Amino acid sequence: AKMIEEAKLVWICLRCKSDMKTNKPEQESSDELDQFQGFHISEILKSVDTKLDAVKRMEVNLNSLRETTIEIQKSQEFLSIQYDDMEKSLKCLPELEKELKQLRAIVVEKDKLIEELS
């Protein structure tokens, strides 16, 4: 609504300026009009600068998010490899337990032989 009101004010002022000769009591002086238009343009430029700053902050935030996403992706890849390695180890576990039992049995046999020879 404010923009519309400002736009109406500018339109009225521009109308008054163009009607300067026919509408002398209602018209503003050229200096006042120029000053108002300069102020209005200044406000528009400030608004544009504010919006540009906001866009730049968004860009910085997006770049930060992009970097974070890349780091997360690398971490996920690393963890996936670790998980695969652990899964392979777990699959080998029954075979390793079987071999361990066989080795224990061999050690027990060797201990018995050593006792018998002593």
The pLDDT tens digits for 6-43 are 554 444 455 455 544 444 444 455 666 666 676 778 88
* Residue labelled with tokens 């919006």: 51
- The structure's pTM equals 0.46
Question: Please, which pLDDT band fits residue 88 given cuts at 50, 70 and 90?
Answer: very high
Domain definitions of the chain by residue range = 2-91
Tokens encoding 23: 């509408």
Residue 27 has what pLDDT? Answer: 47
User: Closest by alpha carbon to 15, among 3, 5, 1, 28?
Assistant: 28
Residue 73 has what pLDDT? Answer: 97
* Whole-number average pLDDT of the chain: 80
Q: Identity (one letter) of the amino acid at 82?
A: Q
Torsion of Cα atoms, 101 then 103 then 107 then 108, to 10°: 20
